[in-house]
Amino acid sequence: MMVTVQEKAKIMLYVMANRRLRVYLMPCQRGRTHNKLRVVFQRNAKWYREFCALYPSSREYKGSKFKTLIKRRETMNALGRIIDGVGGGLYVERILDFMDESVHYTDVETLLEDVPF
């Protein structure tokens, strides 16, 4: 089934609204000190993680945490503009390029795989 760009943007926005990174601190006793362990409860949508990976930040960070130039709010705003048929803007261009280049995100089922029903 072929999906239009606007329909794909609606699905991507829906998935983003229902999946976001959630990390909790859990108590963990190591030796004589009580530390906290970061436990991932929920991850961002797979397509969004791949999109962010295309635009890494050049800043240096401590640790191995992945940093990106992509901002969640700007991505959601750009998806809204695509849905409304309003073009223009860096994020709109980046998302449209991502849609064109990401062959495995051409069907609805792949986009929705992260959403719990």
pLDDT single digits (tens) 79-103: 999 999 987 899 999 999 998 877 5
pLDDT at 56: 87
Q: pLDDT for 31-87, tens place per residue?
A: 665 678 888 888 888 888 889 989 988 776 665 556 788 999 999 999 999 999 987
CA distances from 92 to 10, 40, 74, 82 (A): 13, 29, 9, 7
pLDDT at 75: 94
Residue 96 corresponds to which tokens in the numbers above? 């449209």
β-pairing, 22-30 vs 33-42, is: antiparallel
Residues in the chain: 117
Query: Burial letters for 57-67: b for 16+ Cβ neighbours within 10 Å, e otherwise?
Result: eeeeeeeeeee
Residue 30 corresponds to which tokens in the numbers above? 């190591």
pTM over 0.85: no
Residue 35 corresponds to which tokens in the numbers above? 């530390």
CB atoms within 10 A of CB 9: 22
Enumerate residues 6+ apart whose C-beta is below 8 A from 11: 3, 108, 111, 112
pLDDT band at 112, cuts 50/70/90? low
Residue 110 corresponds to which tokens in the numbers above? 């792949």
Rg (CA), the chain: 17
pLDDT at 91: 95
